[in-house]
């Protein structure tokens, strides 16, 4: 099993392998479309699959920090940006399917949809929130914005994931099972952060070393 020691090392070949794994859903869709295996309503299948992938990758991105902290495999942080960008990638495919294969680029119809169909409003919001995150995903952006401002901006991912789950809840006819599964996972991931934040703000135990105390010890 994974060793109990913490690990800050990621093998070089891991990232390309995971990159390819993230492309498997797209590859399956392409394969299925060439073999006429997308079922009776292929456009609906593509829309649903890309939508599921978007939400799944958003949740994977949000689970990187809890997993790396709990398993002490700190190198996982190196994968988080890739997962986040894949969420944006599949979100773009999902939106493109809607714009092109559902609405055939009819701007008037799309604006009417956004205004009137609240599940579309929620979906558009979820996507729009991902745009600034994708644009500022580079190391250059972190430097330019400064760590604190970058982190504050990237908290938008919670809103995006929530809007995505609401989009799903609002579009199903009666079966809330799958949307609520996503909602539950998102809830747990947010709960983790709330607990972690509360724990970091809580009072320090009396014997724990403070920086003041350590300095005194060092000075002997």
Partner 1 sequence: MLIKKATDIRSSEITPKSLYLNRRKFLAGAAMAGAAAATGLGLREVLSPSTTALAGNKIDGIQKSPFSTTETITPYKDVTNYNNYYEFSTDKDGPAKLAQKFRTRPWKVKIDGQVEKKQELDVDTIIKMATPEERIYRHRCVEGWSIVVPWVGFSLSELIKRANPTSKAKFVEFTTIYDPGQMPGQTGHVLDWPYVEGLRMDEAMHPLTLLCFGMYGEDLPNQDGAPIRIVVPWKYGFKSAKAIVRIRFTEKQPLNTWNISAPQEYGFYSNVNPNVDHPRWSQAKERRLGEFYKRPTLMFNGYGDQVASLYTGMDLRKNF
Residues within the interface to partner 1 (CB under 8 A): 2-3, 7, 9, 11, 13-14, 17-18, 20-21, 24-25, 27-28, 31-32, 37, 39-41, 43-44, 101-102, 104, 112-113, 117-119, 170-171, 173-175, 177
Closer Cβ to partner 1, 41 or 138, answer by number: 41
Q: Cβ 50 to partner 1, closest distance in Å?
A: 14
Report the nearest approach of partner 1 to the CB of residue 143 (Å). Answer: 29
Q: Which is nearer to partner 1, 126 or 133 (CB)?
A: 126
Q: Which is nearer to partner 1, 139 or 212 (CB)?
A: 212
The nearer residue to partner 1, 75 or 150, going by C-beta atoms, is 75
Q: Give the shortest CB-19-to-partner 1 separation in angstroms.
A: 10
Least gap, CB of 218 to partner 1 (angstroms):
13
Task: Give min distance, CB of 131 to partner 1, in A.
Answer: 25
In degrees and rounded to multiples of 5, residue 125 shows phi and psi of -65, -45
Which CB sits closer to partner 1, 153 or 180?
180
């Amino acid at each position: 099993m994974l060793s109990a020691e913490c690990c800050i090392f990621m093998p070089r070949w891991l990232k390309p392998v995971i990159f390819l794994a993230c492309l498997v859903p797209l590859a399956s869709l392409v394969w299925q479309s060439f073999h006429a295996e997308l079922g009776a309503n292929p456009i609906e299948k593509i829309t649903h699959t890309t939508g599921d992938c978007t939400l799944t990758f958003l949740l994977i991105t949000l689970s990187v920090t809890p997993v790396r902290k709990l398993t002490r495999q700190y190198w996982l942080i190196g994968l988080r940006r890739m997962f986040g960008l894949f969420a944006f990638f599949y979100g773009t495919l999902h939106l493109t399917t809607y714009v092109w294969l559902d609405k055939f680029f009819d701007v008037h119809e799309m604006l009417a949809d956004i205004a009137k169909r609240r599940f579309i409003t929620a979906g558009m919001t979820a996507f729009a929130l991902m745009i600034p995150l994708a644009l500022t995903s580079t190391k250059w952006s972190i430097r330019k914005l400064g760590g604190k401002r970058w982190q504050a901006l990237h908290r938008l991912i919670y809103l995006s994931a929530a809007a995505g789950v609401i989009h799903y809840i609002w579009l199903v006819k009666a079966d809330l099972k799958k949307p609520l599964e996503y909602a539950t996972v998102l809830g747990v991931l947010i709960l983790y952060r709330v607990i972690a934040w509360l724990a970091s703000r809580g009072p320090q135990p009396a014997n724990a070393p403070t920086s003041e105390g350590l300095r005194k010890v060092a000075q002997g």
